[in-house]
A and B are shown apart, each in its own frame.
Chain A
């Protein structure tokens, strides 16, 4: 993951073969009641390969407090 600050808008790019999700955006399995009815939907994280970060994010370190990158292959399993 790299932060390009010399472009306008600035870019937060995923490394090759990877993509980015929010650190707090994690997979959660569906929840069913006793009758087998789904009561809580499955949640799949959202991924990006390019993000235009808000101006409060000035450094890559700051970006990494909010986003993390993962291998694309692993998330598709």
Chain B
């Protein structure tokens, strides 16, 4: 009879229409391999009076069986001689095991609801097909006994033993009965992980469908193919013969393979179809809108004066990047730098950017020198400078010199400034001085930010160093937070000087 069975492994392999190819393939509800291989399970079963007590196999995955009925419909129609589709289902699983002289009437499945109420029970004979066992249900529904020797149901499994509502089945238990007189072959030593690896409950939507289902799959696939081909330039309508799909697919132009570099030195429309990349270098006063996003050399560029806009983000070559953004008089906002932490020197950084309004956060933690950085910013509007990590700074001479935004100046602070200061440096060392006296419109919160972000050079062992503010700004600072920030800074070894105008 075995030849009448569907070989599910065939169904599940390859590009078979019986498969739901859009699914993820097999999904296991129950793979009892690792659990059942443990002989302790059988020892326990014996001790418990032949599984008189329900012992749920661990790690069962609750599963909604609503799809199973659909699945087994497909299987049911294909297999003849088995009125109950679940027989086929189980027969497949037992096929391998019975060849190792296990299973048969000694084996059964039990089905449980969410609250572990027994919903159904089925068993197999030695041929793995005919149910043959008796059972009694316990009062609480979770304990039952099986008598495989009774052969009370040698004909067929009473329908009542099969769950009538598969959607209620949440747990499946597999049991063996190794100590029965009729189960001399049921030696659990014969059970290996590999031999029972087929003990899987297959998820319904991966199983075969009906012929109608298969035809629908073809129809759906055809529709998807039509959509895909039309996106590639084909003209397939609902009336286009299926056979023409291949013809149109064969005529799809695959295009060219762009190679080489084209140099573009003038404005206008350029056909770049055949090129892998374009080297754009248009130099024209008042027409330059963007800067190349990778600045590779030091130096002040004359063209900087005419640049009106920079990309939002750029990268720079690691190392000393002195004069970066210097002299960009028309720029309002500086870009973020993706690898700002690789800059080791930033002298004249953003200096003479007269109309600068926004400087974003920069992680300059590896940068040692900021001499003349932010120098000469006279913007008529406000200037907002984000947090600039200065963990490695050892020279900040003339930073912010002559910078005097007219409306207001907002600073997020310079975290870790002082961290790299040498303990051998003299007190009030000019290169270590944070001179903000030109910032007459500095806000109180900015002063607080600056002071609170200074590094504790006192604890480090440095001599005292200085921060300068201008009295034109600090005369308006009255908050307790500012006073506390000054106290914090002085405690960390910084002298705060209020310079008279």
Partner-B contacts on A (CB < 8 A): 8-10, 19, 22, 24, 46-57, 65-66
Determine if B483 and A9 form an interchain contact, defined as CB atoms under 8 angstroms apart: yes
30 CB-based A-B contacts, threshold 8 Å:
A8-B483, A9-B483, A9-B487, A9-B489, A9-B490, A9-B491, A9-B496, A22-B428, A24-B428, A46-B468, A46-B499, A48-B497, A48-B498, A48-B500, A49-B500, A50-B498, A52-B486, A52-B490, A52-B495, A52-B497, A52-B498, A53-B490, A54-B464, A54-B489, A54-B495, A55-B491, A55-B492, A56-B427, A57-B464, A66-B464
Question: What is the CA–CA distance of A51 and B486 in the complex, to the nearest angstrom?
Answer: 10
Secondary structure type dominating chain A contacts = loop
User: B333 in the interface, Cβ–Cβ < 8 Å?
Assistant: no
Q: Which of B412-461 contact A (CB under 8 A)?
A: 427-428, 437, 458
Determine if A54 and B490 form an interchain contact, defined as CB atoms under 8 angstroms apart: yes
What are the interface flags for B474-501 relative to A under an 8 Å C-beta threshold, 1 for contact and 0 otherwise?
0000000001001101111111111110
Given known pairs A9-B487, A54-B464, A56-B458, the reply for A47 and B500 (CB within 8 Å) is yes
Determine if A8 and B487 form an interchain contact, defined as CB atoms under 8 angstroms apart: yes
B440 to chain A, nearest CB (A): 14
Q: Which residue of B lies closest to A49 (CB)?
A: B500
Determine if B427 and A66 form an interchain contact, defined as CB atoms under 8 angstroms apart: yes
B470 to chain A, nearest CB (A): 10
Determine if A55 and B500 form an interchain contact, defined as CB atoms under 8 angstroms apart: no
Quick one: which of B465, B489, B491, B498 contacts A51, CB cutoff 8 A? B498
Determine if A54 and B465 form an interchain contact, defined as CB atoms under 8 angstroms apart: yes
Quick one: which of B437, B463, B483, B490 contacts A46, CB cutoff 8 A? B437
Determine if A66 and B490 form an interchain contact, defined as CB atoms under 8 angstroms apart: no
Q: Which residue of B lies closest to A53 (CB)?
A: B495
**Which chain A residues lie closer than 8 Å to B489 at the CB level?**
9, 52, 54
Question: What is the CA–CA distance of A56 and B423 in the complex, to the nearest angstrom?
Answer: 13
Determine if B437 and A9 form an interchain contact, defined as CB atoms under 8 angstroms apart: no
Additional A-B contacts beyond A54-B495, A66-B464 (7; CB < 8 A) = A9-B486, A46-B468, A46-B499, A47-B499, A51-B496, A52-B489, A52-B497
**Which chain A residues lie closer than 8 Å to B494 at the CB level?**
54
Closest 7 CB pairs of A and B: A54-B464, A52-B496, A9-B487, A56-B464, A54-B495, A9-B490, A54-B493
Determine if A57 and B495 form an interchain contact, defined as CB atoms under 8 angstroms apart: yes
**Which chain A residues lie closer than 8 Å to B468 at the CB level?**
46
Best-surrounded residue of B427, B486, B493 (most CB of chain A within 10 A): B427
**Which chain A residues lie closer than 8 Å to B437 at the CB level?**
46
**Which chain B residues lie closer than 8 Å to A53 at the CB level?**
464, 490, 495
**Which chain B residues lie closer than 8 Å to A8 at the CB level?**
483, 487
**Which chain A residues lie closer than 8 Å to B498 at the CB level?**
48-52
B245 to chain A, nearest CB (A): 82
Determine if A55 and B493 form an interchain contact, defined as CB atoms under 8 angstroms apart: yes
Question: What is the CA–CA distance of A67 and B206 in the complex, to the nearest angstrom?
Answer: 87
